[in-house]
Amino acid sequence: TANSTTGKILTVLISYSATYAYKYKSEEHGLEWEEEAKTMYIDILNRAYIEAYVLIGFYFADFYQFDREWIIGKIEEFVQLDDNKWNSFFLGGYIYGNRPSNKYVYSLFYPHYQRAVENSSSLELSQAHGLNRHLLTFYLWGLENLEEGGLFQSYLKNISPSLALDLIQWICANERDLNTISMEIRNKTFEKVLNLWTYLSDKYDNRNESEDLKVKMDLYRLIAFTPKLDLQYTKLLLRASSISDRHFFTRFLFKDLVRLKTEGEPFETAKYLAQILDSILLNPTTVFHYISPTNQSYIIDLVSFLFENGQQERACNLCEELAKHGHDFIRETYYKYMS
């Protein structure tokens, strides 16, 4: 839409307006929208060109700078738009073109988020991709929670499996920030992800359609947000890792289990780790699967940890079952601890 002739004209008009506003900024009035440009834009908007709605949303930050009162009025007014214009303004414009910014803007657009959530069951992935990012961010910031009837909880309750998978992808995108934030914020993030993980795991626990199973398996990726293995985290990991899948070893990596074996009390950690490794490695569908050299080294490390921390019987059984199915890389570890 923005690439249509009308869209290109309006984009140039917005660019000109922003340049003019900054060039002729005054101490008395600050940034101002040049009157002729404003009149032209409003005229096109009044003719109901869909591009005008898309670009108001997309360039919200610019409009907010040079005519705050006008754009706030439009945000309030546009809640009542018909579906086509509203989708263009909010989902196709604002959500697509803007990152979540702050509590004030969140509250300003809150009625639009409500409308999107009310229609979440019919949203396609292309529409909801950005919405997932916004709502997840507000949840991690503490502006949303998982209370029954709340905005985020209502959204999670109604979204399709494809949107749930996309949400998990957005959660995992936050992993790279874990080493750059304070320990306090990091622990709060772990807690929020745990609660969200539990909610999604419970939602899909008794569902067995192929799309639902994909969500259940993909939740294993949230192991990156696991600070240590305990009963609660192990339960969630077992739910995900017990599902048969022919691409199991390409989907489920072991590097985070290697990280987690060093967290907490070793004998307690080994007990939980043994359950997870049994679930992954002894799965009837996956025990025949090719295991990459990288994963082989991870498995050797993990099985050795079991031998050394009170789980000799479980470790021995793992070695025997893997070797029985042609995974000879584990034999040396077996003989090392069983000799």
Choose among 85, 78, 19, 89: nearest CA to 56: 89
User: Two tokens at 254?
Assistant: 């072991």
Q: What local confidence, expressed as pLDDT, does residue 72 receive?
A: 96
- pLDDT of 183 reads 85
End-to-end Cα, the chain, rounded Å? 71
The Cα 227–Cα 264 span in angstroms is 9
Q: Which candidate, 76, 69, 59, 78, places its Cα nearest to that of 17? A: 59
Q: Up-side HSE of residue 253: CA atoms within 13 Å toward CB?
A: 10
Contacts of 288 (CB under 8 A, 6+ apart): 325, 326
Indicate the length of the chain as a whole number. Answer: 339
The pLDDT of residue 280 is 86
Please report the pLDDT score of residue 244 as a whole number: 60
Amino acid at 92: G
Q: Which regions in the chain score pLDDT beneath 70?
A: 1-2, 26-29, 244-252, 285-288
* CA separation for the pair 84, 209 (Å, rounded): 32
Position 247 scores a pLDDT of 58
For residue 127, the model assigns a pLDDT of 86
